[in-house]
């Protein structure tokens, strides 16, 4: 029996992002913040994008944010994604500042998504990492 196709997964040996991906296994969305100037840095990297020489420390998001923008994908040739269509790719602003690209899940139709919509993290578990997806926030 052949293995079902999975979404592409990150390379855990990449030095700048490895700590982020390892924390996802614990369902933590980590981001960096500069100890010198306070700049929130996303995606993970070695140097502050604000002052360039401050040291970066890891913070953990509370897991809520809002849709900044999105697109509905209706056709894909990738073995995993072609079975997911139609699906929503969204830029999400976490409340702490990071803006990341993800998928919106937990919706009846893609048309249920709108800009400014409140969302929360929804983890998709894999062997060594979990993918940070989002679903609409239910109050
Ligand atoms: Zn800085």
For residue range 21-66, list pLDDT tens digits in order.
Answer: 999 999 999 999 999 999 999 999 999 999 988 899 999 999 999 9
Measured between alpha carbons, how far is 88 from 61 in angstroms, rounded to an integer?
Answer: 22
Q: Determine the distance separating the centroid of ligand 1 and the alpha carbon of 21, expressed in angstroms.
A: 23
- How far apart are alpha carbons 14 and 43 in whole angstroms? 13
Q: Strand 99-104 and strand 118-125: pairing?
A: unpaired
Would you state the pLDDT for residue 84? 92
pLDDT band at 2 (very low <50, low <70, confident <90, very high): low
Determine the distance separating the centroid of ligand 1 and the alpha carbon of 20, expressed in angstroms. Answer: 19
Q: Which tens digit of pLDDT belongs to each residue from 19-31?
A: 999 999 999 999 9
Query: How far apart are the CA of 50 and the centre of ligand 1, in A?
Result: 5
Contact (CB, 8 A) for 131 and 123: yes
Task: Show me where the domains of the chain are located.
Answer: 18-136
Mean pLDDT value across the chain: 94
Task: Please give the distance, rounded to the nearest whole angstrom, from the Cα atom of residue 36 to the centre of ligand 1.
Answer: 5
Q: Whose CA is closest to 136, among 92, 98, 99? A: 92
pLDDT of residue 6: 85
Q: Which CATH architecture has domain 18-136?
A: Beta Barrel (2.40)
Question: Which single residue is written with the structure tokens 């500042």?
Answer: 97
Report the pLDDT value the prediction gives residue 139, as an integer from 0 to 100: 62
- Please give the distance, rounded to the nearest whole angstrom, from the Cα atom of residue 133 to the centre of ligand 1: 28
Query: 74: CA distance to ligand 1 center in Å?
Result: 41
């Amino acid at each position: 029996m052949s293995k079902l196709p999975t979404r592409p997964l990150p390379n855990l040996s990449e030095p700048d992002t490895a700590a982020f991906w390892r924390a996802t296994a614990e369902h933590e969305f980590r981001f960096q913040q500069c100890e010198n100037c306070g700049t929130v840095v996303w995606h993970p990297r070695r140097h502050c994008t604000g002052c360039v020489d401050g040291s970066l420390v890891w913070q953990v998001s509370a897991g809520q944010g809002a849709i900044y923008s999105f697109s509905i994908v209706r056709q894909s040739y990738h073995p995993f994604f072609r079975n997911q269509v139609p699906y929503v790719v969204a830029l999400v602003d976490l409340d702490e500042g990071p803006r990341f690209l993800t998928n919106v899940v937990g919706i009846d139709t893609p048309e249920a998504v709108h800009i400014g919509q409140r969302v929360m993290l929804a983890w998709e578990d894999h062997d060594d990492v979990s993918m940070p997806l989002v679903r609409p926030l239910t109050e």
